[in-house]
Amino acid sequence: MSDHAHMHSDPDAALERAERVCRSRGARFTDQRRRVYELIVRAGEPVTAYELLHRMGADGTHPAPPTVYRALDFLQAHGLVHRLASQSRFVACDHPENGAHGGVFLVCDRCGQAVEWQDERVARAVARSAREAGFRLGGEVLPEIEGTCGDCRDG
């Protein structure tokens, strides 16, 4: 870490992988879902739903908001993208294959880049806190943390 933005993850490979994930679950990876997913992957950084919306209409005809939000709901449900609540943005998951996403999202407060950093210790510490507090954890544990990334610090 960390090359600034977009170097990693070949979009074509990601699309293939997504297709595989969907097929293995009997979920349909439709055109709209593919378009949205591809835009997110190619963006290489967190993007808003409306950015996706506008990019989908390169031909001149934008879909309506629900189209994008529905695709996003689907992609999230299948672990292909994550929503960054603190930014109201969406980002592709680095490793959609495995269900467990123990770690943190490190979000740069300067460039906006978000890194999904795997770390079991965070997940374990959170799980422990939850138990002590009498909470049972729900789905994903993927805290969003603000900071400044190396590139933005160094220049």
Partner DNA sequence: CGCGGAATGTTATGTTATAGCGTCTTTTGA
Partner DNA sequence: TCAAAAGACGCTATAACATAACATTCCGCG
Contact 1, 115 (CB under 8 A): yes
Q: Which partner from the list DNA, a copy of itself, none does 1 bind, CB cut-off 5 to 8 Å by kind? A: a copy of itself
**Residue among 40 and 149 whose Cβ is closer to a copy of itself:** 149
CA 60, CA 58: separation in Å to the nearest integer? 5
In this complex, which beta carbon is closest to DNA, that of residue 28 or of residue 131? 28
Task: Give me the residues that bind DNA (CB under 7 A), please.
Answer: 27-28, 30-33, 48-50, 63-67, 69-71, 73-74, 83, 88
Give the CA distances from residue 154 to residues 46, 105, 132, 149, in Å, rounded to whole numbers and listed in that order: 22, 21, 40, 9
Residue 133 binding target from a copy of itself, DNA, none, CB below 5 to 8 Å by type: a copy of itself
The amino acid present at 52, given as its one-letter code, is L
Give the residue with the Cβ less far from a copy of itself, 53 or 108: 108
Q: Return d(Cα 73, Cα 147) in angstroms, integer.
A: 27
From the list DNA, a copy of itself, none, partner contacted by residue 111 (C-beta under 5 to 8 A by kind): none
